[in-house]
Chain A
Amino acid sequence: MPDSVFRPDPDEEWEALIRQLQAQPKAGPQPFFYGRVRARLSAQAAAKQALPGWLLRPAYAMLLGSVVLTLSGDGRALRPDPEPTRHVRTSAQPPRPLPR
């Protein structure tokens, strides 16, 4: 007996599959979706108020970070040492004995 007797027409099979796809139960968001959208908007607005907009750009943030790092040091590298020989022990000064 030919196979086509048992096997439906491919076009019909395809159409049936598409109907099955369209017959899926309609998904929907959980209840109180609007409340969650509002909360997200509020959170984003709060974050934007906390930081200026330009600071949210990575290039500006990195530039600011590098400036802060530079200025936060003691600036020793930028300043000449006022007394360069103050702590240098010369051979002319004999070692003092430790107090008893």
Chain B
Amino acid sequence: MNILSEFRLFSVDYTLPLVFADDSPTCGRELTPTADADLVAQLQQGSEAAFRTLVARYQDRIYRTVFSLLRTPEEAEDVAQEVFVEVYQTIARFRGEASLTTWLYRLATSRALRARQKARAQKRFAYFTSLLGFDNDVLHEPPDHAHPLALLEGQQQLQLLLDHIARLPDQQQVAFTLHHEQGLRYEEIAAVLNTSVSAVESLLFRARQTLRKHVQRHRHA
């Protein structure tokens, strides 16, 4: 099953609770599940202040997650906004079977992947129409994946890595990004992807193998 369709299903049925631990490196761990539960309860009562708190609490994590999948600030901003709008509109249906954090990461990753799929389709269409000569306009600007750091001297390897992360299959990319860039643990990623820890280990193993192969090939070329 395609990851996007899985995400659409999972956005309705939350089955795996996210277990928090004090020793995790992820930011925001000082927030207990109870604090999130209180926040959800207030949100479901229509509290404006609770929504403001939610956005303030999660905007950086959601933005970074989306940015690491899309690599353009404009798209990341747009998708991050969409995530919070969806939270506001659907919080009444949130049953708490997954933690709020898990739910937010699911929304963020699924929306980011959908946005990327749409952008790729538009790019393909623009290329196709340009081949047929339907328009003489300049093609839509391709997304700039160049990270500011990667533009500095000696950062080619990082840029190469980022390029190849973007080409990974969806689930591998989400798992790799959530683990290596967002610092989520295997259990947390499993909850977000609604899969098992061993499946996450497998995804990460395959992702690392692919990335290492490409990076080393480039180095020895």
Task: Give A residues with C-beta under 8 Å from B.
Answer: 10, 13-14, 17-18, 20-22, 24-30, 33-34, 36-37, 40-41, 44
A34 close to B215 (CB less than 8 A): no
A14 close to B158 (CB less than 8 A): no
B212 close to A29 (CB less than 8 A): no
How many A-B residue pairs have C-beta atoms within 8 angstroms? Tell me: 72
Expressed in whole angstroms, the Cα–Cα distance for A13 and B181 within the complex equals 18
Residues of B within 8 A of A44 (CB): 85
Interface segment out of the listed B13-21, B28-36, B57-65, B103-111: B57-65
Which residue in chain A gives the minimum CB-CB distance to B63?
Answer: A29
**Closest beta carbon of chain B to A4's beta carbon, Å:** 13
A40 close to B181 (CB less than 8 A): no
A34 close to B60 (CB less than 8 A): no
Expressed in whole angstroms, the Cα–Cα distance for A44 and B85 within the complex equals 9
B149 close to A10 (CB less than 8 A): no
Q: Is the interface of A mostly helix, strand, loop or mixed?
A: helix
A34 close to B180 (CB less than 8 A): no
Expressed in whole angstroms, the Cα–Cα distance for A14 and B218 within the complex equals 13
Q: Mark B86-107, 1 if CB is under 8 A from A, else 0.
A: 0011000000000000000000
Query: What is the total number of residues of chain B having a CB less than 8 Å from a CB of chain A?
Result: 34
A17 close to B158 (CB less than 8 A): yes
**Closest beta carbon of chain A to B81's beta carbon, Å:** 5
A25 close to B52 (CB less than 8 A): no
B157 close to A29 (CB less than 8 A): no
**Closest beta carbon of chain A to B146's beta carbon, Å:** 13
B88 close to A29 (CB less than 8 A): no
Query: A34-B52, A37-B88 are known contacts; what are 14 more A-B pairs with Cβ within 8 Å?
Result: A13-B215, A13-B219, A14-B208, A17-B215, A20-B155, A21-B180, A24-B149, A27-B76, A28-B59, A28-B63, A33-B81, A36-B81, A37-B55, A41-B89
Which residue in chain A gives the minimum CB-CB distance to B73?
Answer: A27
Given contacts A18-B180, A21-B180, contact A29 B158 (CB under 8 A): no
Query: Which residues of chain B from 114 to 154 have a CB within 8 Å of any chain A CB?
Result: 147-149
Given contacts A14-B215, A17-B215, A37-B85, contact A22 B52 (CB under 8 A): no
Which residue in chain A gives the minimum CB-CB distance to B155?
Answer: A20
Residues of A within 8 A of B183 (CB): 22
**Closest beta carbon of chain A to B179's beta carbon, Å:** 10
B52 close to A41 (CB less than 8 A): no
Given contacts A25-B149, A27-B76, contact A37 B81 (CB under 8 A): yes
Q: Mark B62-80, 1 if CB is under 8 A from A, else 0.
A: 0110010000010011001
Expressed in whole angstroms, the Cα–Cα distance for A41 and B90 within the complex equals 12
Residues of A within 8 A of B73 (CB): 27
